[in-house]
Structure 1
Amino acid sequence: MTTEHWLRPTIPDSIPTSTLARADELVRKTSFLAGMVAPETASCLSELLEVTNTHYSSVIDGGLCEPEILERALILEHHQSAFGEIPEHRRRIVAVLCLHYQLLHRPTHRDGIRAFARALTFEHFALLVLHPHLWSLSRGLGRRLDEYQSATGMNYPMQTDGLEGAQQLIGEGQFAFIDFMLDVCHEEVDYMIASLNRRRLRESITHAYRTSSRLKESGIRLETMPALLALLIQGALPRSEFVTFTGLPSEAANDQLKLLINLGVVVSLLSKPQRLEIGLPVWFAEEIFPGA
């Protein structure tokens, strides 16, 4: 059997209306999330969530698992052939989750099949414009690991294959898994939407300024907080605007800016010295995105 065959999901003829509605809502929510984040901030979040995914993947897989390297060109080709003929966007989302479920039930000796299934789901979600780099499926599954294992029955793979075996996979078990996965996706997207709400960001940064030993020991002054909040929301600012936001005299503001750059919270590119970008080192991200 070719790899292309076992990467092609068998899709139920009839999908519950409630499941399709949840898939539709996921499209709307992820689009809203993407619209909340400036490109520079999104890039930082993506890097941060790679660390998050690695941690929770080790929880799911019972230890560190070598990350799966997926060729984007091959994934794109497979996505078009496997999902391109499915008429509705929401049904393609369901089909991706069907594939995830079916991969975990295929009789295979492949190491890291769970990590592979998650990596493949991530790539297909990206192609479906669900912005998976801005929220963490692995975190959600790691937090609900018992349910994930129960929903997949991953400890008891089916010893069947081909059309007959694939048909056996379709039923209440697979629909329960799809609904579970959609719940996890919604929870993680909701978490990031709440975390990126401007009021929540202001509260989180205020808390960080009050409690972070790193900020205090580095001599960061409270007056820089509005400038840093503006930078986080907008992703980038002219250096002159950042200085103005602090309300400090020019010399004091520039001294504070140097301290923030040294901490990695603000980034100044050599190629664009008059432009500042947000930085999200892990220690700082943990302050403003607890649990991320």
Structure 2
Amino acid sequence: MNVPTPALPDSIPPSILASADLLVTKTAFLAGMVAPETAACLSKLLMDSDAHYSRIIDGYYTEPEDLKNALNSANQQSMLDKVPDLRRRIVAALAHHLHLLQTQAYPDGKGVVARVILHRYLHQLGLHPHLWSLARGLAQRHAEYHALAPTNSTRVSEPTGGVQPSVKSTLSFVGFMIEVCVGEVDYMTAALNRHRLREAVMHGFRTNSRLIEAGIRTQTGPAFLALLIQGALPRTEFETFTGLQLSEACDQLSKVINLGLVVSSACNRHTLRLGLPSWFAQDIFPDFSLGESEIKPG
């Protein structure tokens, strides 16, 4: 599937350009907060959650595998580099998303494919979409999303020729989408704030039933927090962060490895990497659905 050049209105209000600038600044700040190993864990969690949020947005469930297939089918060549300014490239990508929603149709559902394509554009623009969830924001405001981008929800196998959106409706949609993006970046930035992150991790180590049943002590919480922040740690440092005697620290480490909170590879047992299973990530991001609960679309 080849995707044409993203549509770009001739005149863009300064307020929208300023919002695009803000999105660039905020996503760069968020990326600077997260270690590469932690970013990889978050990316996987957020990708898995997209299927759940797509169900709310589109009104039907999309399997995670279908999202991957949609990404593979979206074999477009980006034309964003032909737009001279980063802010206008952001506007062009969002305007193009509206264009796809209103003029294209795909076997897997136009909404999910259009969002996958937009995710690719956001990545190409350096907005780090793997660290925040556009789908979550759209699920929370799906009524507005559909009102600004009315589409025929019937699944068809051939592209349809829709009516091109007006400049006014395009700019209204772009403004809404930037607002949603900024809101989700703010959510993740607040969630990953060091003080708030420490409170969430320690609360989880005190109250999470799986940790309690496995015999994980609260003293192991600071060690996991350090790993969450840094992404990887020498084994000896993790054990030291617990403040426990060596034998007990080793026992606690074995337990968190067994639970998947910490990863120790056979090829490098001296360095530990972060593991962030969804059942514990839910403690860190309590109002973020990671696909374990069933929420019917509104």
TM-score by length of 1: 0.90
* Equivalences for residues 87-236 of structure 1 within 5 A: 87-106=84-103, 108=105, 111-155=108-152, 165-166=163-164, 169-236=165-232
2:83 aligned counterpart, secondary structure: coil
Cα separation, partners in 2 of 1:172 and 1:73, compared to 1, 3 Å: closer
Structure 1 residues 194-220: Cα deviation after superposition (integer angstroms, max 9, x where no partner): 000100100101211222111111111
Moved more, 60-69 or 195-204: 60-69
Q: CA separation in 1, counterparts of 2:242 and 2:153?
A: 59
Q: CA separation in 2, counterparts of 1:107 and 1:221?
A: 54
What is the Cα deviation at residue 225 of structure 1? 1.3
Could you tell me which runs of 5 or more consecutive residues in structure 2 were left unpaired when the two chains were aligned.
155-159, 289-298
What is the Cα deviation at residue 69 of structure 1? 3.2
Aligned residues: percent identity?
50
What is the Cα deviation at residue 86 of structure 1? 0.8
Q: Is the 8 A contact 1:243 1:250 kept in 2?
A: yes
- Structure-2 residue corresponding to 1:49: 46
| Stretches of 4+ aligned residues off by more than 3 angstroms | 68-75, 107-111
TM-score by length of 2: 0.88
Q: CA separation in 2, counterparts of 1:71 and 1:108?
A: 16
What is the Cα deviation at residue 74 of structure 1? 4.2
Which amino acid is 2:214 matched to? Answer: S
Q: CA separation in 1, counterparts of 2:244 and 2:116?
A: 47
Cα separation, partners in 2 of 1:150 and 1:258, compared to 1, 3 Å: same
Which amino acid is 1:207 matched to? Answer: H
Q: Is the 8 A contact 1:149 1:155 kept in 2?
A: no
Which amino acid is 2:250 matched to? Answer: N
Cα separation, partners in 2 of 1:72 and 1:200, compared to 1, 3 Å: farther
- Structure-1 residue corresponding to 2:157: none
What is the Cα deviation at residue 247 of structure 1? 1.0
Q: CA separation in 2, counterparts of 1:203 and 1:240?
A: 24
Cα separation, partners in 2 of 1:144 and 1:92, compared to 1, 3 Å: same
Say if 2:20 is the partner of 1:19: no
The structure where helix makes up a greater share of residues is: 1
Say if 2:270 is the partner of 1:269: no
Q: Is the 8 A contact 1:12 1:170 kept in 2?
A: no
Q: Is the 8 A contact 1:57 1:142 kept in 2?
A: yes
Q: CA separation in 2, counterparts of 1:44 and 1:114?
A: 26
- Structure-1 residue corresponding to 2:71: 70
Q: CA separation in 2, counterparts of 1:262 and 1:110?
A: 41
Which amino acid is 2:70 matched to? Answer: I
What is the Cα deviation at residue 37 of structure 1? 0.3
2:268 aligned counterpart, secondary structure: coil
What is the Cα deviation at residue 174 of structure 1? 1.2
Q: CA separation in 2, counterparts of 1:43 and 1:225?
A: 21
Cα separation, partners in 2 of 1:274 and 1:137, compared to 1, 3 Å: same
Which amino acid is 1:70 matched to? Answer: L
* Aligned equivalent of 2:6, options 2, 5, 9: 9
Which amino acid is 1:44 matched to? Answer: C
- Structure-1 residue corresponding to 2:82: 85
How many matched pairs? 279
Q: CA separation in 1, counterparts of 2:161 and 2:44?
A: 40
2:49 aligned counterpart, secondary structure: helix
1:186 aligned counterpart, secondary structure: helix
- Structure-2 residue corresponding to 1:289: 285
Structure 1 residues 30-62: Cα deviation after superposition (integer angstroms, max 9, x where no partner): 111111000110000001101111110122121
Cα separation, partners in 2 of 1:93 and 1:107, compared to 1, 3 Å: closer
Q: Is the 8 A contact 2:232 2:274 kept in 1?
A: yes
Structure 1 residues 166-221: Cα deviation after superposition (integer angstroms, max 9, x where no partner): 4xx23221111111100110011000000001001001012112221111111111
1:273 aligned counterpart, secondary structure: strand
